[in-house]
Amino acid sequence: MISRRQLLAAMASTPLVSMMGTGSAHALPNNDYKALVCVFLFGGNDGFNMLVPNDNAHYDEYAAARPDIALPQASLLPLSLNTGSDLTLGLHPSMTGIQNLFDSGKMIAIANSGVLIEPSTKAGLQDGTHAMPPFLFSHNSQQTEWQRGWSGSTTPLGWAGRLMDVLSSDTDTISPTFSLNGYAQLLNGSDHSANLIKASSLPKVNAVSNSLRRKSFDQVMSLSPLTAFGREFDRVKDDSISIRDQLATAIESVPEEAHFPDISLSHQLHTVARLIKSSDQLGHQKQIYFVGLGGFDTHANQLDTHTQLLSALSQSLAAFNQSMEASGLGDKVTTMTMSDFGRRLASNGAGTDHGWASNHLVMGGALNSGQLYGQWPSLILDGENDFNKGRMIPTTSVEQIGATIAKWMGVRTDDAMGYIFPNLANFSVQDLGFLK
């Protein structure tokens, strides 16, 4: 009988069909490798102080909306992006590494994006014509909505997990999804559970750390428990140790790189880089990684706090890109930012409160770079794009961003894409075009 995964893989791309049931994921073609790295900015990143209008007319609109926290126009790092209008954009002054990535064609920005069920206008949301995503402006709920990729549902799965349901092989002995920042619903699939590992080290079982103890342990493990629970417990324990050993061997086979800065996010990305470079040892042709950086809930002291956070983000992404490019993997790896939500345009005096839409970044060597993706909103308070009190209504959805990446990863049919992003059919533009 054909399995659900085999059916999904057949829907996704013809090359995978021939590989089903062949016995080893190592048989997959090496030149088909692709990885997605998701960088979650916990707390709600202020995307409109990360990517800022730089021409006089649009800058004046921005400064009028947030006079207490507007960045000085002269401090912005200029970007040469085709916006389709007289709008020009600049970056937060702490992001010189990311400015260099824009200049070299390795970074693009997606404007005014966030959680949506369907394309929505202010009038449609106010009169109920357009469906409102649940629990807006709540940290844990919106973190879940971003990762679920199916706003309005209650599925415990995440969109990256469903993506790997489609693309990964039945023969994977180690899950092709990895979190270096704790539990992530994003990676939950029907057929895989994510590997949860630390950036600094993999957990060790001290009792089997030397040969004599390991011999005794193996003897105990060879005994057959009397109950089904005992047998299952032993299986999980044995698998955990085996997977830990394989992952440790894979990571340790790749030398450390001194150019990664001493920053939490950078440590995570350093380990991601080592895992990507050893993916052939794990038998993976497609992988997804989850990393995170916290502290973006900037209700107070935003200007100083945000500067430090965006500097850490910029340095970490630049170091990771350098590693991928030096290994010839730049066009095989795409990295994207996520966050709970954006911040309100109007400040509360020294910071900002919870908003809705934000601006996001995508990095890699497979980008169609040089232009802004998505629709830049009017930054006029109480204007057409302001849902209420400076909370901007997204004009590009999480699903549209994810579907563009899923297509690049190898999803080929509408049925497979519909399994990953059930709400995608609500949007007329389903491929934003930022990947080749």
Instruction: Give this prediction's pTM.
Output: 0.89
Q: Which domain holds residue 11?
A: 4-19+30-201+262-426
pLDDT score recorded for residue 168: 86
Strands 89-91 and 77-78: antiparallel
Residue 214 within any structural domain of the chain: no
Please return the burial class of 123, using the count of CB atoms within 10 Å of its CB with bins 0-12, 13-18 and 19+.
exposed
Q: Give tens-digit pLDDT for 90-138.
A: 999 999 999 999 999 999 999 999 999 999 999 999 999 999 999 999 9
381 found inside a domain = yes
- Residue 228: pLDDT band with limits 50, 70, 90: confident
**pLDDT at residue 84 in the model:** 96
Residues 286-313 have a mean pLDDT of: 98
Residue 96 DSSP label: H
Helices (H), 130-185: 139-148, 159-167
C-alpha pair distances (Å), 181 with each of 42, 108, 158, 290, 304: 11, 24, 16, 7, 24
Asked, for residue 230, whether it belongs to a domain, the answer is no
pLDDT at 296: 98
Structural domain includes residue 219: no
Closest CA to 285 of 192, 158, 410: 410
pLDDT of residue 20: 27
For residue 363, give every residue at least 6 positions away whose Cβ sits within 8 Å of its Cβ, in sequence order, or none.
Answer: 101, 106, 107, 317, 320, 321, 334, 335, 336
Provide, rounded to the nearest whole percent, the portion of the chain with pLDDT above 90: 79
**Domains in the chain: how many in total?**
1
Name which of 124-133, 277-286, 335-344 the model is least confident about.
277-286
How many angstroms from the chain centroid is the CA of residue 137? 20
Tell me the Ramachandran region of residue 412: left when phi exceeds 0, alpha when psi lies from -120 to 50, beta otherwise.
Answer: alpha
Q: Cα separations (Å) of 88 from 107, 112, 202, 341, 427?
A: 16, 15, 45, 24, 27
**pLDDT at 239 (0 to 100):** 61
At 210 the pLDDT is: 73
Q: For residue 26, what pLDDT band results from cuts at 50, 70 and 90?
A: very low
Whether residue 424 has pLDDT greater than 70: yes
Does residue 241 lie in a domain region?
A: no
- pLDDT band at 192; cut points 50, 70, 90: confident
234 CA to centre of own chain? 34
Task: Identify whether 157 is part of a domain.
Answer: yes
Domain assignment present for 232: no
One-letter amino acid for residue 57 of the chain: A
CATH of residue 161: 3.40.720
Confidence (pLDDT) at 1: 37
